A and B are shown apart, each in its own frame.
Chain A
Amino acid sequence: MTEQTYQVPTMAELAAAGTDPEVLFWVGCAGSFDDRYKRVTIAFVKILNKLGIKFAVLGTEEGCTGDPARRAGNDFLFQMQAMNNIQVLNGYNIKKIVTACPHCFNTIKNEYPKLGGSYEVIHHSVFLQGLINEGRIKLQEGGEFKGKRITYHDSCYLGRANNIYEAPREVLAALDADLVEMKRSRRSGLCCGAGGSQMFKEAEPGDKEINIERTEEALSTGASTIAVACPFCMTMLTDGVKNKEKEDAVKVYDLAELVNDRMPDRK
């Protein structure tokens, strides 16, 4: 065992040392500031460290992709943000980006190219699936999820928006868990209620909150773990589980947390 601490190099440091990373980890605002999602960021960084993947983050040079501004209709603000970020990314000659946020993923992958920023952008679910398939991630036998019921909630911005349905499920399958599907899944998956900038305002009047509708569906599968791959889905479903007073019996985890928990420490 080495006495090495976890490394979180920034692009500025790498550039000063004159080296390039294999991949840039785009942390995102939720990953940087939201207490719950910071744990996902940390889990993902631990995975990268354990595998010795040469990565970097932008640190304080990163800014909101502009996704919430664009979905709320403010394209000026979106494009300002986008162009600032593109200047930073292009300045470091970034080629490959991985992120744990489907909204950042969608925006950088699909919307930045029209504004001058073209990169290979990978969502962490696909990234993790790739590492599992290549045999680089080796999961410990018989973890706490073996045989337990897990249900996966499709993020709209991964699923319908970008046709990523199988990668997250394959990651869960690798955990030996008993994956149970909700009635509305994949193409017909129900939104958690946070997309389209709903995260940042109260819902319009109705009979029910969307996250409650979705949480009820997730709970009805009998799963003890709800797996998500998006910071907004994480917030919405965690709140939903609390609202249903099931937080002791049912946990909401991100894929990265589930994978990291089952990876042995670096030898």
Chain B
Amino acid sequence: MNYASQLLFLVCLAVAGYFLYKRINFIRRNINLGKPEKRNDHPEKRFKNMLLFAMGQKTMFDKPIVGVMHFVIYLGFIIINIEILEIVLDGILGTHRLFAPYLGGLYPVLINLFEFLAIGVIVTCVIFLIRRSVLKIRRFWAYEMTKWPRSDANIILISEILLMLAFLSWNATDTILQQRGAEHYAGLNTGPFLFSQFLMPIFNGWSTEALIGYERFAWWFHILGILAFSIYVTYSKHLHIGLAFPNVYFARLFPKGEFKNMPVVTNEVKLMLGLPTDEVQETAAQENTPIPAEPGRFGAKDVNDLSWKDLMSAYTCTQCGRCTEACPANITGKILSPRKIMMDTRQRMEEVGRSLDKGGPGLGDGKALLDDYVSREELLACTTCNACVEACPVAINPLEIIMELRRYMAMEDAKVPGAWNNMFSNIENNMAPWKFSPADRFNWADKLKEEKQ
């Protein structure tokens, strides 16, 4: 009997592992559709950023109350995972609370801590559900937050609540069984625990058999729930629980105002001006992005024209909408939403990935990120103010994607508003964005030079 359940447990682990492995490969391959870009310089700085922004969640505390609540779930997630280790080992070895005899008095202290966090997670998840569905916080109800993104968020919150309830009720029934000295529960004396003791009155009247049944159900529900959840996460916006760390680590380190240079263009312009190009070529080669003989596509039309980091960011986005909430274009009713840019990028990337998996045309399916997902009206509305970048708690840079798409519009398509074309020709001919003669550029000083100090 025991062996049968151990075997079943191993099969469940293997099946979950298999699906998880497949999903992770799918995601990795999709991210690698992006262009190479060197993002591993200054490891100390990157590591520090990761500690501060991913582990320390610094930006989350821009909204202090939500920041604290999110931190509770985060701590719960990390610390309760220690308990998962015991559960998995128990499942494999057919033991019960394997660590209890070894840890002695420390064991109940740990479980009490886990229970404290479990209660914290339940309370915060309930508050978060209320914020989303009852208070209808504006950023959760934007036009890109259609049925699936909203359900996704609710599924995650409800799953977390159920998992925590399973954990607490498991502890409660286990404690009663220990007290009754039933079967292998006898001999252990770990409970009652800090919070699950309050659930014990519910179960006290149950027969020992019913209790064992429930205890086993809660145990299996908890662990299978966690395995299922880990696979679900790979389909969900919830991927940030893992990807936030590398995404922050690989975030850009230069000032937000600096837009990425295009070495391909530098090369072309230098050739046109008759300037030497060795330096551009060398730097590009050093960064593992050598300048091709044929320039290729300027800017981005589809996901493969973006950097791998932009694609990783799309997977990291948890759709919190802080970017959109801060976006001046969005605030004033334009259709631009930085969050939608990230969601669109992920959707397109996954569409291409699924097509490739089926031996389909992938990128050559006649669709593209530009126009089929992101409209030009959205892109044109951006003021490049970096409010979205500043607001993102996990170092996503929607502006980078917007700019790459704009570059395609301006340089490949030559389709920008007429006013911009006028501005371009003014710069080209008059050395100023307005139609003034360059010879008049210094006229402002004429009167001043005659004025007495």
Query: Contact residues of A with B, CB < 8 Å?
Result: 2-8, 10, 27, 29, 31-33, 38, 41-42, 45-46, 49-50, 57, 59-60, 62-64, 66, 68-77, 79-81, 83, 106, 110-111, 114-116, 156-157, 160-163, 187-191, 193-210, 212-214, 265-266
Q: In the complex, A115→B406 CA distance in Å?
A: 21
Given A33, A72, A80, A160, which contacts B406 in the complex, CB threshold below 8 Å?
Answer: A72
Which residues of the partner chain B approach A160 to less than 8 Å between Cβ atoms? 256-257, 385-387, 389-390
Given A106, A162, A208, which contacts B333 in the complex, CB threshold below 8 Å?
Answer: A208
Nearest B residue to A4 by beta-carbon distance?
Answer: B453
Given A42, A50, A199, A205, which contacts B448 in the complex, CB threshold below 8 Å?
Answer: A42
User: What 0/1 readout, one digit per residue, does chain B (300-335) give for beta carbons within 8 Å of chain A?
Assistant: 000000000000000000000000001011011111
Task: From B262, B273, B384, B422, name the one whose CB has the most chain A CB atoms within 10 angstroms.
Answer: B384
Interface-lining segment among B123-131, B350-358, B426-434: B426-434
Which residues of the partner chain A approach B387 to less than 8 Å between Cβ atoms? 156, 160, 188-191
Nearest A residue to B379 by beta-carbon distance?
Answer: A73
B441/A59 in contact, CB under 8 A: yes
B257/A190 in contact, CB under 8 A: no
Q: A6-B448, A72-B424 are in contact. Are A204 and B383 (CB under 8 A)?
A: no
Q: In the complex, A7→B450 CA distance in Å?
A: 9
Q: A31-B444, A79-B266 are in contact. Are A73 and B427 (CB under 8 A)?
A: no
> Which residues of B, 57-96, contact A by the 8 Å Cβ criterion?
62
**Shortest beta-carbon distance from B395 to chain A in Å:** 14
Q: In the complex, A265→B439 CA distance in Å?
A: 31
> Which residues of B, 369-418, contact A by the 8 Å Cβ criterion?
377, 380-387, 389-391, 403, 406-411, 416-417
A210/B383 in contact, CB under 8 A: yes
B444/A32 in contact, CB under 8 A: yes
Q: A73-B407, A74-B411 are in contact. Are A110 and B442 (CB under 8 A)?
A: no
Return 20 A-B CB contacts under 8 Å, by A number: A5-B452, A6-B453, A63-B438, A71-B384, A73-B403, A75-B407, A79-B266, A111-B259, A115-B266, A156-B386, A188-B391, A191-B383, A193-B328, A196-B385, A199-B433, A201-B417, A202-B419, A203-B334, A206-B333, A208-B333
Number of A-B contacts (CB under 8 A): 236
Nearest A residue to B381 by beta-carbon distance?
Answer: A204
> Is B254 at the interface (CB under 8 A from chain A)?
yes
Which residues of the partner chain A approach B432 to less than 8 Å between Cβ atoms? 29, 32-33, 63-64
A213/B331 in contact, CB under 8 A: yes
> Is B249 at the interface (CB under 8 A from chain A)?
no
B438/A200 in contact, CB under 8 A: no
B266/A114 in contact, CB under 8 A: yes
